[in-house]
Every structure is written in C-alpha cells, then in structure tokens.
Amino acid sequence: MTLYTDIPTRAEIDALWQVDAHAAASIYLETAPESSGEAERIAYKNGVREALTQLEGADKEDLAGLAEQLGVLEDEDSDEFWRHQARSLAVFATSTSLRSFRLPNRLTPVAVGGTRFFVKPLLRAVTFPQTAFVLALAQGSVRLLETVPDAAPREVRVPDMPTDVASAVGKSSIKDRAPVRRVQGTEGQKLRMAQFSRQVDGALREVLPGHGVPLVLAATEPLDSIFRAHCRYPDLVPHSVAGNPEGRGDGELVAEARTVLDGWYADRLEEEKRTFADRGRQGRTSTDVAELARFATRGAVDTLFVDIDARLPGEVDELGEVTFADSDSDTGYSGGVVGEIARRAWLSGARLLAVRHEDVPGGGDVAGVLRYAPT
C-alpha cells in the first residue's frame, strides 16, 4: 500500500491565503490509500454541494465557473486520481482555478464556501508532516526509505549513491595501511568515512525535497556523527535509530524511526511551550483573540499556536479590530476570526504551529509569541 502525498510549500500556502475571490470553495475529505476511491468521490460530491450551498447569494456567473472547476475531479476520467490517495484530501477552487493536496495527516472533514480559502487545517501537514525519510547508513551499505503512517516502507532509488565506504574512496578496504596524506589507522578510516558521507549527502540532495520532510538517520558511531557533520539537509532529525542497520528489515527500521520521529515532534512542541512561558514572563505573549488580531495585522506576531479545528465566526477589519458573529453564514471570511488571524500572521512571516486544542497555551483557540513587548 502506497500513500501518494503532496505536501504544500510555503509559497503554495502563501498563494492560497492571498486569494480574495467572489466565490471560493475549500473542501477537506478523509481518504484511504487502500480504497477504490468511490467512497471518497461520493464524499467529495457532497462537499461540493455543501460549499456551493453556502455561496448561494454569490454572482451566478461566478458560481457556474466555480462549479465547473470543482466538477473536474468528479469526471469519470479522474478514476486514477481517486485511486491514489493518502489520509486526507484538501481541494481549493475559485471560478478560474483548482488546486488539490493529498495529505498524510488525518484532518477533520469540512466544506467551506466564502470569499477566501479555509487554509488553516492544511498547516497541520506543514507543522507535523507524517511522511519522512529514513537513511540506513553503514560502512558496507546505504538505503533510503520513505515512510508514511499505516503503509509499508518504500525504498527510494538514489542516482549516484555510493554503495559502501571503501568503493566510494577507491579502496578495497578502509582498513588498509597505506597512508592518506600522512593520515592512517583510525584517523584514516574516519577521513574516508567523511569522504563517503559527503558523497551520500550530495546524492541525497537530488531526491530529497528542499526542506519540510524529516530525515531520520539509522547508523552507529562514528559514522553517525561523521555524517551529521557533513549533512546539509536542514530537516535531519537530531536523534537516530540505534544499532547497526545492516541485516535489519525495512519494516523494523521504519517502525523504530517512527518512534524516534514521534518523540522528536513531542520534544519540539514542549520546547515551543517552554518558550511561550519564558516570553510570557517578558510580557511578549497573548492568548486574547482580539489582541492577537491587532498584533497579527501589525506584523507583531513571531509564533502563533492555532487550534486546527477552531471555528470562531466573525470578521477582522483592516486595522485588526474584531467583530464577532453568531454563525459563519453572517460573514464572508472562510475560517472565521482565528483563520484570519492565522492568515495575517503567516503572510507577515510568522511561524504557525497548527496543533490540537489541548496543545494551545492558555486553553483557547489561539495563542501567540510576540516579536516585542507591547507598549
């Protein structure tokens, strides 16, 4: 079973959040990689109907164009698309555009019609991407595996990847006694491991994304430390799978890597919470929705915790003042007040952490670390 994923880049999220259309639809669905796709297609049709219902007062020409764009995925020719899914599907459409993302995260199904896209749940895939790579690195072998939850690992073919330390440096064995620029013995072996590591790193850069997807290392010392010293990939996880990866199956390595990854995510979240507490003692945090709307509008938010399922109806004006509403139908902002705060913070360069409700400091829908203490 394979998960087909499309993790959005920051530039793609920027583009989605800058859309301001007469009619826009955002649809999130639960999907399953083992499914034939028929159940997902039916759920999508229901989501389309719900989003269009929320837009009944919009211009008829805009609605017709939007329906036409959304209908592209309903067409019978899209069978191949529906058979190749991950855990969630996010679809964004206007009368002139259609964009979809297959996501490894399990997101709450929802259909939203408005003037802007409902982007906030998509950030979960950026905050905690459930897809990852595992590099099984040993002196005599190299494997790169791709892993996603509840699916078998897949070995990734890497062009120009060296097969072992000795052949990478043109030797029959790294234990030979010939001096390498007057360096031999243990120092010579480490030098060759460093050369090997640099070649592995160079080969990986041809297949790994630029950033955003974690790389978990499975290696023993001293190769573990040597590779880390030469690896340029920005999302190399700081903790490794223990033990020699040679002779261990892909499934075993990936299971241990996911444990490492889960622990790393938990550690990162706890560190973010500690930072929030520290900045709070400096007067540089807020958990008040109205305050954060103004701070986000002024570009004063450094880090924003957002409940990915929060829907707080209302609007935020040009100055950041909030007008709350009784229901989403009373406003034109998809995602409500929290979604608009997240949009403004993101577009001003803030880091956004899309988390579950219990992980938002203060127990509310949103919390922020500010770039400076308010005066």
pLDDT tens digits for range 279-321: 999 999 999 999 999 999 999 999 999 998 888 899 999 999 9
In this model, does residue 174 exceed pLDDT 70? no
Which pLDDT band holds residue 52 (cuts at 50, 70, 90)?
very high
Residue 141 parent element (H or E): strand 141-147
Residue type, 33: P
Q: Which of these, 74, 131, 73, 78, lies nearest to 99 by C-alpha position? A: 73
Domains of the chain in start order, with CATH, are 10-127 (3.30.960.10), 132-267 (3.30.420), 282-370 (3.30.1330.30)
Residues 242-265: what's their mean pLDDT? 94
pLDDT of residue 322: 95
pTM: 0.78
pLDDT: which is higher, 192 or 327: 192
Tokens of 338: 């929290």
Residue type, 171: K
pLDDT of residue 84: 87
Classify 155 as helix, strand or coil: strand
- Distance separating alpha carbons of residues 108 and 28, to the nearest angstrom: 7
pLDDT of residue 210: 66
pLDDT of residue 241: 97
